[in-house]
Structure formats: structure tokens, C-alpha cells
Structure 1
Amino acid sequence: MRKAFKLFIPIILIITVITTILNCKTEEKKPVENIKNEDSQKIEPNSTNLNVSLLLDLSDRINPTKYPNNAMEFFQRDVGYIKSVSEVFLEHLSAKKVRQANEKIELFFEPSPSNPEINTLSNKLKYPIIKDNLSLDLLNDIENTYSKNPIEIYELAIKDDNYVGSDTWRFFKNKVSDYCLQEGHRNILVILTDGYIYHKDTQLKEGNRSSYLTPQEIRKNKLNSSNWGEKMVNEDYGFVKIDVDLSDLEILVLGINPDPKNVYEEDVIYEYWGKWFKEMNVKRFAIKQADLPSNMDKIIREFILDPV
């Protein structure tokens, strides 16, 4: 028995050494499907498929001459928000197994800019991701493109100095269902806007409902006093209703920048948008005032990665 026991010990040692070597080699080659990000623990194990859309307001709100800001220009804030959205999207992707991949991220305007160069840059920001094309190279390409193209888009729009307004109402009427909803996905629309909507070709009026919202309209409707809330309810102020069901869409509105001359302006803007979203049965929404991208990053991250 003692002799057999002496032979048994070296065999165990040999097996242990071989197992250790094999494990080390396995760890050296980490396939894409197992790549994880340390900050992604909150993502569900089955990794819900994301369909993320960004809607940019390229109206004169981004004009640094007309609306300068010492802390950070508003177009630069937009670029920071877009970067945060893309980083969270990539974080979500890196936590998925390749065979589960079926995601999308893309960017829209309404109306489309007349500058073809802007449209070319925006088309490059549309990424459908499936298991057949998901790779580290694709992740790097998304990161690089979303780091450089948005700032170029804003700089071109400012250089053109041709601000045609923002037709967000028409986007919701005609395009949001086709562009932003995909079956079997968690659909998220991020809107970058100051909260005002105006386009010369879309000025509908139905009673006290309108397809637009401007500081002038708020003052005209006398929604600049402490009874603004009661007035909005009793006299039915708001955006013209749209017959669309968005019960499978989550919306995050960033960049609200109310006219400082009216202390109630922000509240009125929030009520217009919130009432409109509720009437369209939006699944979940959040509306946030303009802030530095470093402060907004947490809000963006939580909205996308922590569904309720």
C-alpha cells in the first residue's frame, strides 16, 4: 500500500500541472462572445436586443453666435450626449454573446439637412448589428465613427448658417413608427432639443392645440404666470394629437433650454411634451434640462442600462 501511495502522489502532481497549463492557454484566447465590461453587471444575462435611435434638432438653437454659452456651447453638449449614448450602446454590445446579437443604432433629422455632406456623415452612423457581423473591429468602428462624425455634422450645420427649424411633430406623425420601432427589441429614442418645435411648413392649429411650440406662443397663450397649469388643463393647451401607438417605445429628451424671461417656461415645456407622450401611449419617458455632458452621462447610462 505504501508503494502504491508513493506512485499516486506524482500522478496527481502531473495531472495538476497539465490542467493548469491548459487553463492558462484557454484564458489567453478570449473569444468576442465572452468579452465583458466591468461596468456592465446590471445588464440582464439574456441581454435584451437594443434598437437605439437619435433625433437631432439642427435648428438655430445650436448657433453659438445667437445662443452663446460660457460653460459649454449647446452643440458641444449635444455631441457629448451622443458620445455617452454610443458608449452605453457599445457597453451593452460587449456584454452580449455573439449568437444573441441583433441590435441597431442610428441617427435622424427632421427635416433632412440640404447639405449632402451632412447626410453622408449621418448615414455612416447607422449600424445594424447581427451575429454575422459582430466583431471587435465593428465595435472599434462604431466607437471611432461616433467620436468624430457628430461634431463634423454640427460644425457643417453651423457653417451653412441655414437653420430651417425642427419638425419633430411631423417626424412623430409620419416616421417614428417605421424608423424607431422594431419588433422583439427594446426600442429607445433619444431626442436632442431645446424643447421648442417649429417648422415653417408645419404650423397646424386645432383649438388650443398646435404642432409647434415657441417662446412667443407661450407668451401669447398667457402661460407665463402661476396659473399656467390650471389654464393648460381647463383650456386644453398642448401639441396636436397624433393617432399613433408608441407603447413599445421609450423616449429620453435631453437639452431642454427654456427662455429665462419666463420663470414658468420650463414647466410649460415639460407639460407639453409629457402630455403628448402620454397621449401616444409612450411606454416610458424622461425629459431633462440642458446640462454638461459629464453630469448627463449618469442619466443616459441609467435610462438605457436600467430598464424599469
Structure 2
Amino acid sequence: MNTKISLLALAIITIILAGCANETKKENTQKNPVAHEATNKKENLNISILLDLSDRIDPIKNANPSMEFYTRDLGYIESISKGFEKHLRSKPIRNDDDQIQIYFEPEPLNSEINDLAKKLKLSFTRDNTTKEGILKISSQYHSASNEIYNLAIKDKKYIGSDIWGFFKNKVGDYCIKPNHRNILFILTDGYMFHQDSKFREGNRSSYLTPELVKSLKLTTSDYRDLMQENDYAFIKANENLDHLEVVVLGINPAKGNPFESDVINEYWNIWLKEMKVKNAIIKPADLPANLDQVIQKIILAK
């Protein structure tokens, strides 16, 4: 009997002590914000923006009464830079190790455009970050990106965009950093074509054009079945991109085929999935005001 009483008393004492320890731990966490922060530390961001400066941005050839496509691009870039800025403002400077940059493929022939892009390669660490520097990010991106597009349109030397080649040769080195959340934004109409990366393997291709969609008869509601049966898709350009998130902005299908947008999305989704991209989001060429919250939600992971 005495033994049972002793065991019962010991159990009660153990429960009481455990409760006290939990209360003490809770109080210490509340008094010590650093302890709480350690469990909620924000990921460091590595954001890349790949610009398609092909003739899709030509305001004469591809005019749009509601808003020119190059103006939409500028709005998307502004949303991306503001999202990055908000991310930096939401964390202690001592935790900073974040980057944002713009790329082209191939490099524009105008050296001024390349110089402007260099100014938009920004890196923030605990050693160089200031509140003033953070607050200048979106204005710096707004000013320089405006100049880039104005120069590209003025030159009229649209050399195309080799997105497939970028994924094959550069995305791993340029857009993926260890211990970071890596996001690649691609501003394009969704079609893919460049003379340096134009080839086919069976029914797969490194390119997609309105003419190809039409020739493959992907113009009816059974487009997905036709793609699966005939293995119509992009040729895989890379693999194991599981540390990369890809956001494609600006899908602008050619008129005349009610399923053109669906076909473009299907090509991209298959391609990114086969390359094991961590997450893929594809959005149409909507007004920047409509996509602003979507873009910032992606960056801030809300």
C-alpha cells in the first residue's frame, strides 16, 4: 500500500514540475524575441527576372489599345521589386543574404542595356544593407527597367529570346543558390523560338510558335489528348531543378484558336514538371494592377 502511495505521489510531483518547466519556457520565449525569431526565420530570397525582349514588345507590330505589352512588363517588374523590398523590410538586417537580378538570353546588342542590367544586380547582406538602400530598390528598378525597354524599342533590333537555351546552359549557375528560396520570373508571351536553339527530336521541339500549334492541329478541345498520344511537348533542357520556382508572366496567345492559351500552358507545365521544377505558376498578360497582389503573394509566401 505504501509503495502505491509513493508512486502516486511521485507521478503527481513529476506532472507539476513539467507544467512549471513549460510555463518558464513560455515566459522566456515571450521575454526573448530572438528565441521566438529563431523558429520563424524568413528564408533568404534569390530572385531572377528573365526578360524576353523579342518583337513581342514592339508597340507598332503588337499594339494593344488597353495597355502595351512592354508597359505590362514594366508593371510586373515593379511588383516584383516591391515584393522583394517588402521581404527585406520584414526581417532583421542581421539575417540578410538576399539577391535580385535581371537576365537576357542572348545579351542585347546595345551595351547601354547591358550596363543598366548590371545596375539591377543587387545583393543585400548583413554587412552592406541599410534601411535607405532597401527603400531605393523599387525606384531603382522602375527607372532602369524603363530605360531598358525604351532603348530596346528605339533600337528595333529584336534578336529574340532563347529561353530554352537559358534553361539548358545558365539557369543552374545563374538562378539557383544554396540555402535560398530561388524564384525565376520569366516575362514572355509564352511562345519559344530562337534560331540558335531550334531543333526537333521526334514529335518534341525546342520551340513553340503559332504556326507549329496550327500544324499539329492543336486547335480543338481534345488538344490535351492529342498531345499525350503523339508526345507533343518541349524537349527537356535540364533536370533536377527541384530548388527552383518558376513564374511565367505575360502569356499572350495568337488570335484565331480558342485553345491556343491552353496549349501554351500545357507545353510549359509539362516542360517544367519534367525538369522537376519545385513549383510552377503561369499567368496571362493581364493588367499589372490585377497581378500585383498575386506577384507579391508569391514572393512573400502568404
TM-score tier (shorter): 0.7 to 0.9
- Match of 1:198, SS state, is coil
If each structure's helix is expressed as a fraction of its own residues, which one has the higher value?
Answer: 2
Partners of 1:147 and 1:167 lie apart in 2 by: 25
1:135 maps to 2:117: no
RMSD: 1.3
1:169 maps to 2:157: no
Equivalent residue, structure 2, for 1:69? 64
Displacement of 1:244 after TM fit?
A: 2.1
Equivalent residue, structure 2, for 1:187? 182
In the alignment of these two chains, the number of paired residues is: 265
Equivalent residue, structure 2, for 1:151? 146
Partners of 1:137 and 1:303 lie apart in 2 by: 25
Partners of 2:166 and 2:274 lie apart in 1 by: 16
Render the CA deviation track for 1:98-126: whole Å, top value 9, x for unaligned: 11000000000111101000000111000
1:51 maps to 2:28: no
Render the CA deviation track for 1:143-177: whole Å, top value 9, x for unaligned: 32112011110110011111111100000000000
Structure 1 residues 227-306: aligned runs within 5 Å: 227-306=222-301
8 Å contact from structure 1 (residues 165, 197) kept in 2: no
> What percentage of aligned pairs have identical amino acids?
51
Displacement of 1:306 after TM fit?
A: 1.7
Render the CA deviation track for 1:7-64: whole Å, top value 9, x for unaligned: xxxxxxxxxxxxxxxxxxxxxxxxxxx9xxxxxxxxx941110000000000000000
Amino acid at match of 1:120: D
Partners of 1:95 and 1:216 lie apart in 2 by: 47
8 Å contact from structure 1 (residues 108, 122) kept in 2: yes
Partners of 1:162 and 1:198 lie apart in 2 by: 16
Q: 1:92 aligns with which of 87, 90, 98?
A: 87
Partners of 2:274 and 2:290 lie apart in 1 by: 30
1:226 maps to 2:230: no
Displacement of 1:227 after TM fit?
A: 2.0
Render the CA deviation track for 1:276-302: whole Å, top value 9, x for unaligned: 000000111110001111000011011
Structure 1: unaligned runs, 5 residues or longer: 1-33, 35-43
Q: 2:204 aligns with which of 204, 209, 228?
A: 209
Displacement over 4 Å in runs of 4+: none
Q: TM-score, normalised by structure 2?
A: 0.86
- Match of 1:165, SS state, is coil
Amino acid at match of 2:289: S
8 Å contact from structure 2 (residues 82, 137) kept in 1: no
Displacement of 1:140 after TM fit?
A: 3.3
Displacement of 1:242 after TM fit?
A: 2.3
Amino acid at match of 1:166: S
8 Å contact from structure 1 (residues 59, 166) kept in 2: yes
Equivalent residue, structure 2, for 1:106? 101
8 Å contact from structure 1 (residues 210, 238) kept in 2: yes
Equivalent residue, structure 1, for 2:20? none
Partners of 1:177 and 1:88 lie apart in 2 by: 23
Amino acid at match of 1:214: T
- Match of 1:287, SS state, is strand
